[in-house]
Amino acid sequence: MRVSPALMTFLTGLLLLSMAGILYQRSLVESGAYGTGDASSAAAPAANVKYACPMRCVEADKPGDCPVCGMEMMPVELDSPAMLTAAAHAVSEYTCPMHPQIEQDHPGTCPICGMELVLKASDDAGVDPAVAESVAAVKISPLQGLLADVQVTMPERRLVSRSVDAIGEVEVPEDRINMVVSWQPGRIDNLELDRTGVRVQQGQHIMDLYSEELLRAQDEYLIALRARDQLSDSSYDYIADSGRQLLNSAESRLTRLGFTAAQLTTLAETRETSEHIPLSSAYDGIVLDKYVNEGDYVMEGSKLYRVADLSQLWVQMEVFEEDSAGLAPGLQVSLDCPVHPGMVFRGELELIEPMQSAMTRTQLARVRVDNPDMILRPGMLVQTSFELDRHEALMLLRNSVLQTGDGAVVYVARDGGLWEPRNVTTGLIDGDMIEITSGLAEGEGVASTAVFLLDSEAQIKGIPRPSDDISDSETEHSGHVH
């Protein structure tokens, strides 16, 4: 009988494939994947411990590397024989794979879809009956927990605070703006302070003013001065007093017209009137506005200059209405200016305006900041972060908290592989941490990974989420927390 080359090639490949399968099967047996390794070379394994590949390739009775993928085998604690015996004596329940609400204690078919009912695994195997009765919890095996990478985290206490970010504009304080006015009518001559934006000091000569009323007042003062000198030697006291009163009245008029004490002393010594009176600035600061020019006639009370002291400034910060709670005068504030990167300006919250904008839903917070070196200028934009509500809080990883339509839920680790769903209320957020205000104790461990897996398992098995007096709403405040 002649065999074709194609058939010979097929038979040869089939033989090689069979030999490879036999060699691979032998390697699995020798590695202990089937629990049939060399008994003389391996120590007696623990009755309730096996080793599993993290990639779910194989299981073995002893440690080592996975013969399929090469990863290190991980120990998995199995149920004890007593637990297995208890599970065996438990009442068997059958359910439909497509309709888990169908349950019965004997095999059969689903009345809805007609599928064959399957044996339902008991979640109470190996669980303390007292624990199983006290909580409605999810039960997963140690191998399931290993493969799902369910990790436990513990809440911790730390100091936290709520941060409110705000941006504002530098302004000139109203109480730092002064108006230089004319104290008498006259003509402006020799205008020395002739431009805005320059610094002026208190007592600096700014202009000369010609005033006929001032000349008459000086003449009256000289007459009163001579009368006092003549009447002071009178033997009648009332006559001497009248001379002094006349001089005091003349001095008061000159003072009201802007004469200083030094000018009065000079006038009394020289006994000569002056057609022009020099005017000096009564304030320190920057000239914001100039209202007159040389040669202008002014009246008593006419505006000459508007001078602002910029050694202290206001910063009007806009704060959203939901962030304004907790702001109070006296709060110390650190300010950053984009024009001067790296520089930090210190200020104090001075006022929270009682009205808020109906359009932007913001409220103005006034901060007073020192500016001795004149680095900040009116009109600059600055930003800050108010630190509020500093307190000690119980913080937990945000991944551990599952936000649902009914509130925030965590899964608390219990004995026997149980995971108890529990409602909690949350507060401030600090990076990847969140504050737990109620519902969880400091020493309780919760699942920080695979939380959605645990919740899905609970929903499939019909385990209700707890409902108690804990508020379902989460109190979250915007901004960074420190």
Helix H segments across 232-312? 237-256, 261-270
Whether the predicted pLDDT of 81 surpasses 60 = no
User: Candidates 1.20.1730.10, 2.40.420.20, 2.40.110.10, 3.40.50.720; correct CATH number of 138-160+391-460?
Assistant: 2.40.420.20
C-alpha count within 13 angstroms, C-beta hemisphere, residue 255: 9
- The radius of gyration of the chain's CA atoms, rounded to the nearest angstrom, is 46
172: number of Cβ within 10 Å: 20
Yes or no: say if 200 and 283 are a contact pair by the CB < 8 Å rule.
yes
Yes or no: say if 430 and 161 are a contact pair by the CB < 8 Å rule.
no
| 126 CB burial (10 A radius; 0-12, 13-18, 19+) | buried
Whether the predicted pLDDT of 301 surpasses 60 = yes
Whether the predicted pLDDT of 471 surpasses 60 = no
Residue 329 DSSP one-character state: T
Q: Residue 199 pairs with which residues in a beta bridge?
A: 286
Select the more confidently predicted residue: 369 or 226. Answer: 369
**Residue 31 pLDDT level (bands cut at 50, 70, 90):** low
User: What's the mean pLDDT when you consider all of the chain?
Assistant: 77
Whether the predicted pLDDT of 22 surpasses 60 = yes
Percent over 70 (pLDDT), the chain: 79
Highest mean pLDDT among 6-20, 49-63, 204-218: 204-218
What pTM value is reported for the model? 0.50
Percent over 90 (pLDDT), the chain: 7
Tokens of 49: 């411990």
Range name among 201-205, 206-210, 414-418, 478-482 with the lowest pLDDT average = 478-482
Region 177-305: CATH code? 2.40.50.100
Catalogue the long-range contacts made by 210-215 (C-beta closer than 8 Å, 24 or more residues apart). 210/186, 210/275, 210/276, 211/184, 211/185, 211/186, 211/187, 211/257, 211/277, 212/186, 213/184, 213/185, 213/186, 213/257, 214/184, 214/186, 214/254, 214/257, 214/277, 215/273, 215/275
Yes or no: say if 96 and 110 are a contact pair by the CB < 8 Å rule.
yes
Nearest CA among 394, 395, 398 for reference residue 449: 398
167-173+310-388 domain in CATH 2.40.30.170? yes
Give the number of residues written for the chain: 482
Tokens of 462: 């019909």
Query: For the chain, what are the domain ranges?
Result: 5-77, 81-126, 138-160+391-460, 167-173+310-388, 177-305
Per-residue pLDDT at 369: 93
Cα separations in angstroms, 56 against 67, 147, 210, 449: 12, 8, 104, 19
Yes or no: say if 250 and 224 are a contact pair by the CB < 8 Å rule.
yes
What's the average model confidence in pLDDT over 404-429?
85
Beta strands per DSSP E along 92-212: 93-95, 103-104, 118-120, 138-139, 152-153, 156-171, 177-181, 186-189, 199-200, 205-210
Angle between helices 261-270 and 237-256 (to 10 degrees): 130
CA angle 165/169/171 to nearest 5° reads 140
Nearest CA among 207, 199, 201 for reference residue 181: 207
Range name among 34-38, 212-216, 222-226 with the lowest pLDDT average = 34-38
Select the more confidently predicted residue: 117 or 53. Answer: 117
240: number of Cβ within 10 Å: 16
Per-residue pLDDT at 169: 92
**Residue 45 pLDDT level (bands cut at 50, 70, 90):** very low
